[in-house]
Amino acid sequence: MTNSFVFLCLLLLLLPLVAAQLRVGFYNSTCPRAELIVRKVIQERFRDNRTITAALLRMHFHDCFVRGCDASVLIDPTKTTPSEKDAVPNQTVREFHLIDKAKKKLEAACPGIVSCADIITLATRDSVALAGGPNYSVPTGRRDGLISDPNLVDVPGPTFSVSEALQSFTAVGLTLFDMVTLLGAHTVGVAHCDFFQDRLSDFEGTGKPDPTMDPALVSNLFSLCGTQSRPLKHDLTTFLDRTTPFIVDNQYYNDILSGRGIMQIDQELALDDSTASFVSGFANDALGFQLSFANALSRLALHRGVPLHLWHSMFLELDIQLLRFASSIGCLI
């Protein structure tokens, strides 16, 4: 009975966390100007630097893929304790200071109310809209995490196959369609030469360029990157969408259909039988991409670190333990 009682108590302690539902307008009564304050900070920064859309999308993605959208990516390492910022995939995440700026303004208006996790989510939404993308409602009410472990950072890499990338997406409750849609974020931003350099001259050890890449693009990128490997902070970059690099649109899908995907995972989407039809669909339907992108970002932002099927298992076990406990104290006839 003791073990069952302890287990029951632990599960009951988790119930408030599970039951706390995100909702649109979570701060309406406690900090009515919260979303406006974040939006103004993002608008001001966007006027000076349109690359923040890509930066915030990347930050949001990397945050949500590790223990859910809890702002753990913002936690600084110490001399004795590393954090997610130390993980290799996060070495190119930037604009942390922008979230800090929004947080300071919110603290001045509503001390201790708005979470950093919500600030990242709202800032991403606002930056996407400023770049010509969809403007969508964002449920808020997230809680900031206290755990930031670089060993937990496991995001899809630039050389992943479709099947490898899908494993990462399904692990956080997203679908194949969500994956194709969210990779459309590569319609803005840049890639370091190191992320695709092998495709230009020695693809998979062949000593030749990737045959799926447009030869003119190979030549152009090779003249930029060459074969020399450089430290990441000194590595050169190129736009992922070289036609409309600052606009959230469907040009990315047209590019990869034409063999002009920069990173291998991008090009794989157009070649793999499981994703090619989605790519073609978005390439021919700009509005459809916008709507799907908003929906996929909303689904990503709902990730809270524990897959839904695990919650179902926990509640099933809770039911069993409740029955056992009730029976042991004579509550059941």
Per DSSP, the chain holds a count of helices (H) and strands (E) of 14, 4
Clarify whether 62 is annotated catalytic: yes
Bridge partners of 192, per DSSP, are 237
Single out the catalytic residue among 60, 62, 186, 303: 62
Using DSSP's 3-state secondary structure scheme, residue 238 falls into strand
Binning the chain into helix, strand and coil, the percentages to the nearest 5 are: 60, 5, 40
Instruction: Supply angle C-alpha 188, 191, 195, rounded to 5.
Output: 145
DSSP-derived secondary structure for 263-330? SHHHHHHHHSTTTHHHHHHHHT-HHHHHHHHHHHHHHHHT--SS-HHHHHHHHHHHHHHHHHHHHHTT
Write down how long the chain is: 333
Using DSSP's 3-state secondary structure scheme, residue 164 falls into helix
Residue 262 Cα distances to 53, 92, 93, 217, 246, angstroms? 19, 17, 19, 9, 16
Task: Evaluate whether 321 touches 10 at the Cβ level (below 8 Å).
Answer: no
Residue 81 Cα distances to 67, 70, 76, 159, 305, angstroms? 18, 19, 9, 30, 22
Query: Which pair of structure tokens corresponds to residue 239?
Result: 């736009």
Expressed in angstroms, the distance from the first to the final Cα of the chain is: 18
**55: Cβ contacts below 8 Å, ≥ 6 apart:** 93, 94, 95, 189
DSSP-derived secondary structure for 72-90? GGGPPP-SS---GGGSGGG
Query: Which pair of structure tokens corresponds to residue 149?
Result: 């472990």
Residues serving a catalytic function are: 62
